[in-house]
Every structure is written in structure tokens, then in C-alpha cells.
Structure 1
């Protein structure tokens, strides 16, 4: 589902032509050569991370509902938000990992996280890979890119605040639009094209699924639709206390908010639609490596190494830290590799805000 505000790219003010960035062969070669042994995902890490995140997330959510103390309820809600955010972030791994290397993991993730939180894996699979396509990144065909640094300053707070409505939008998508579109072909076309992708580019349109993808899509969409309808029905009839439903929505909104803030600083958002080299894409992306500690919370599952991920999309999240250490140990101080490393969230938000304030 498109989670951004409806902003057209024409709202980006014109800026002087940027100098094209050539690929840095030394960095690209080092990245490939030094990480060949890191590409295999470890099933033990993936499954343990998923199960613990789900147990902590739902357990804390239940605690937030039953505790009589407002303070403890807020604390439990925050724990639930962070744990479920970590679990939901694993949808990113599903788009890159070879499923034969993690048997059953897609199914397990959908059952534990995707369906209950109403973001089944088809909402990202077939979408995120376009963001990594060599000739799509940063262009109008990239579902995960907007030139935010070139837009008006007001777009940044709106971009973040609108994410709070995500749980309501997902309930509408799966409890109402999904069943209605099953019997109304024109509506189905619109639902698939416009409301079936976790993207931030409002002009992005999905194609109709075919073959095996269609089978998976139908299965998980039906399961999520049943869950969403049951959630609403249980609340309306009083089977599920209103407090529990509100807590679920608030935690979902919190997850969407922190993810949108993380998205805000995942790139510099300075490209106006030109095809970019791999090095240019890397420099337009962001790493927040150690010693910073907080990124482990707001950019989990390897997302703190987002720029490195664009160099090495096939390296699993649990190996990105080692890949970063290896590259940092061998690349010269003048390498562009270090130019994508930043200290933390406040500086990145400030950098983007200042960029929007520059006269064009």
C-alpha cells in the first residue's frame, strides 16, 4: 500500500545540473571480493530473530492491554512497537534471500507477522527488487524513491505524519477492498495497481500477478482479509475489548511512524530522475555504523547499513556488520566508501531539512 502522501515529482524545484559520479572500481571490487563467503543466510539466526520478535511483540502488546497502570501500559506498548517493528522489517529480507536456503521461512513470517500485522509478503515482494534495479533507482519507475531533498520543506513533516494512518489504511485495504474487489473486476484492477505495494512513490503502479506469484498472493491476501474482518467484527460485537483494538492500532501506528522516519534518512533523496551509477546510488544512501547504538532500534535487521546493502544486496542482514568491518580495514581513507557513513539520526534529519530550505 502506498504509505506516502500524494506528492508529484513536479513539486521538486529545479536545481542546477549535477555532475555525474563515475563508479569507483576499487570500492566495487573490494566489496565483491571480500564478501564472497558471507552470502549464505543462517537459518538459525533468521528463525530465532523472527520467533523472539513475535513473542516479545505480542506479549508486550497483551501486557499493555491488561495492565491497570498507564505508565506500564505505555512502556509495554513501546516494547511491543520496537519488537514488532523488528519482526516486520524482516519483510525486507524476504525480497533478497533465496527461499531454498531458508525453507518455510516465508510461510513462517507471514503466519507470525505478515497476516496479523496486515502486511503479507506480497506487498513487498516484486516491489522492492525494482528499487535495486540498476536503471530504475532514483527514477520515476522506482517505487521507493522521491526527491525529498528537492521538495518543499513542508513535505517532510507531512511525509512522516501521514504514516500514522497506516493501520487504518491496511484495515480498509484488507477488510473492505479485498473482498469487494474479488467480485468487481474494475475495482480489482485498481486495488492491485494502487493499494498493493509498500511504496513511497505515489505514481507507482503494480502489474497483475501471474503464475506462482498469483497463487501466493491469493493465499495470503485471503488470509489477511479474513483476519482483518474478524478483528473488526470481534471489536464491534464486544468479543475483543475496545482497549485491545485501540492498543493494536496505536502500536501499528507507532511502527509505521518509526519506519517512516527511518525511511526519511535511508537516502539523501537528491536524485531528480537520472539513471545513476552504482557508486552514485551508494553515495545517495546511508550507513549509520557503530559506535552509534540507537540505530539498532530504529534501523534493525541490517537497515543501519543501507548504503552497504545497495552495494551488496545479496548479503544477509546478519553479515553486513562483518562486511563493513572488512571493507573499513582495507579501503584507503580517500575511498568514497566512508562518505556514506553518518553519525546518527538527528544529523541526518537536519541535513535533509537544510537541503529542502536551499534556494533553487
Structure 2
């Protein structure tokens, strides 16, 4: 196959928008060098940002959830429920940071997040730790060994609504996992193996099977699963005291949170890879930045996730430093550079692009 022209070798004014296909075999080394050199003074996780952000988001989320439960009208309950879902969504997204920051960077933050957010939402950090990092391995990204990749742009049109709507059932599935499947797995070992391999990770690739946890992660799994079991039965037991309504409202809020995250996942990548390994540059261009201007992306892609492509260049960069890293790279590399190829205008444009691609697949003989 004839190799495509590397856009970085053409005069800037003549360059077309860079694409993944142009960098399957070789990297844009100038961009990678700039990413390294221009951000040397960044990268330190700041407790003064992480702790208040996480605690305030969780506090608003739980406070407005209580307001939704106690509301005296459906309209008021819906309004508080939406605010609660968005705030809890932001609090949940710190699970992404936990997988990348150095283990000694924020003492106590992982345990506090699990107690305040992860276990109450039945998404403890072990469901991401040891899994998400596989998505960043150069030889596994976009392949069948990547737990967080599906070639959605190459699938049938019905796959997109199905991908989003299945998230509505996530809270029920998590409640079932911790309340029933976990204790049954203690007695039925094959069930325990199946639950661990197929229902213990935030993944979208149905072919992925999780390997056994080891070392310190195995220890964290034990106490987090116990916490999830106790909390799941606390929620179920609350029905006898408070009735069905509080739990149903909480599940609706959690479902909305899951759907928002699934929509964000839908546009986190272009999903155009058919399973072959790619260079770092190709992975970057298959990923998505939705930079300013515009505040909407900060709501549906919080905690630095609006810079998801940049994150794939620098996975350990704290979320609060990504805007400055983006500004420096954008200024240095300019319009129509390889770096600019991963910058997109918003969710609507991205969903439309993926949908059009699936329509082409749907028309194929």
C-alpha cells in the first residue's frame, strides 16, 4: 500500500487536516517532541485543586439528590435530579485521574474518593485501575485486547443508539453485581471467575476478559468489594424504611449519569480503527479534543476529558494542567498542524461524523 504523505512535511498553508490513516506506520516526531519540551514545567498534581473539586462536586450531587427526593413537585424533582446527575458525574470522573496520577501524589485521595463517591455510586476504583491503562498501551490501543475500544464508526447504524441506551441499565446491573453475584461467587467459584472477567471493569469491548488482580490492587479489590456489598444491601434495605420512591429516584439519577458518560465515551474517539496496532500519533488522531471556546464540553467532558486526545499524548498530565498544555501546543504548532487534526468543535459534530460513517456501512452490500 502506498504510504500517505506526512502532513508535517508540507508547507503549513498547504496542509490538509491530519488523519489517523496517515500515521499508521510512522509518528509525527516534531509534534511528540513539542509535547515533551513545551510541558516540562507541568505535571504536578495539586492537592489544592483535586480535593476541593472532588468534595464540592460530590457534595452538590448528594445535596441535590436529597432535594429531588424531598421535592413536592415532579418539575422540581426533575430539575434537582439533572443537577445531581451532572455534579455526581463530575465527581465520578476523578476515577480517570486515579488511574494515571503517581501513587504518592495525593495521599489519601484514592481512599477518600472511594468512600465518598466510588462505593456509594457502586463504581469503586478497582473497576478502572489495572484496566484503563491497557487502553493506553501502544500495541493494544484499538485492538481486540483494548477493553475500551469498539470500531463504532465501522459498525451498523443501530449500534450507536444501542451503545448509548444500554447505559440506562448500568445502575441496576451494578446493584445486582454487588448485592447478588458477588456473594454467590464466594460459593460458586465458576460464577466468581465469570463476574471478575466480565463484570468487574468499566469496559465497552465485549470480547475483553479481565485477568486476576495482583499485589496491592488485589488488596484494594477486597475492601472495595466488601464496601460495595454492604452499600448495595443498605440501598435495598432502605425500601423497608423509606419506601420505593427514594431508591427509584436515586437510580434514575444514576442512570442519567451513566447515559451522559456513555455519550461522552461515544465522542471520545473517532472509532475508525479496524483492529490493527497504531503509532502514538495515529492513536492521538483517532482521539478527540473539544477545546474552548464554549462551556458545554466542560459539562459533558469534565475533569480534563475535553482534552482526551492530548491526554493520549501525555497520560500522566493532571487534568488541571491540560488546558495550559493545549494552549502552548496550539500556539507553537498552529493551524492545520498534525496537532490540530484532533481538535473538534463539539459533540453534535462528532456524533454526526460517526453516524454518517455507520450509514455508509449500513448501505454496504
Q: Give the alignment's TM-score, normalised by structure 2.
A: 0.92
* Displacement of 1:314: 1.0
How far off is 1:234 after superposition? 1.9
Deviation at 1:134, TM superposition (A): 0.8
- Return the match for 2:194 from 184, 190, 195: 190
Q: Is the 8 A contact 1:150 1:270 kept in 2?
A: yes
**1:185-204 deviation per Cα after TM superposition (whole angstroms, max 9, x unaligned):** 11111111111000000011
**Which residue does 1:251 correspond to in 2?**
253
What is the rounded CA distance, in whole Å, between the counterparts of 2:142 and 2:258 in structure 1? 23
Q: Residues 165-204 of structure 1 correspond to what in structure 2 (within 5 A)? A: 165-204=169-208
Q: 1:292 aligns with which of 265, 270, 294?
A: 294
Deviation of 1:240 after TM superposition, in Å, equals 2.6
Q: Where does residue 283 of structure 1 map in the other structure?
A: 285
Between 182-191 and 25-34, report the one with greater CA deviation: 182-191
Q: Which runs of 5+ in 1 are unaligned?
A: 1-17
Alignment of 1:1-360 (within 5 A): 20=24, 22-235=26-239, 237=240, 239-358=241-360, 359-360=363-364
Q: Secondary structure at the match of 2:242?
A: coil
Q: Whole-Å Cα distance in 2 between the matches of residues 269 and 334 of structure 1? A: 21
Q: Is the 8 A contact 2:334 2:340 kept in 1?
A: no
In structure 2, distance between residues paired with 1:262 and 1:107: 26
TM-score by length of 1: 0.93
User: 1:296 offset after TM fit, Å?
Assistant: 0.6
* Contact preservation (8 Å) 1:127, 1:143: yes
Q: How many residues align?
A: 341
CA distance in 2, matches of 1:107, 1:241: 31
Distance 1:87 1:138 in 2: 27
- Cα offsets for 1:295-319 (capped at 9, x unmatched): 0100000000000000111100011
Moved more, 332-341 or 225-234: 332-341
Deviations 1:38-85 (A, max 9, x none): 111001111001100111000000000111022111110011000000
CA distance in 2, matches of 1:190, 1:229: 22
Please report how far the alpha carbon of residue 21 of structure 1 lies from its aligned counterpart in structure 2 after TM superposition.
Answer: 5.1
Measured in 1, the distance between the counterparts of 2:259 and 2:334 equals 38
3-state DSSP of counterpart to 1:37: coil
Partners in 2 of 1:212 and 1:306 — Cα distance? Answer: 28
The 8 Å contact of residues 153 and 272 in structure 2, kept in 1 or not, is answered as yes
CA contact (8 A) 1:118 1:170 kept: yes
Give SS of 1:182's match.
helix
Q: Is the 8 A contact 1:21 1:279 kept in 2?
A: no
1:335-357 CA-partner distances (Å, limit 9, x unpaired): 21001111111111000000111
Q: Distance in 2 between matches of 1:139 and 1:308?
A: 20
Question: Aligned residue for 2:9?
Answer: none
Q: What CA distance in whole angstroms lies between the structure 2 residues aligned with 1:339 and 1:21?
A: 17
Runs of at least 5 residues in structure 2 that lack an aligned partner in the other structure: 1-20
Query: CA offset at residue 22 of structure 1?
Result: 2.3
**1:99-145 per-position Cα deviation (integer Å, ceiling 9, x unaligned):** 21100000000000000000000000000000000100000000000
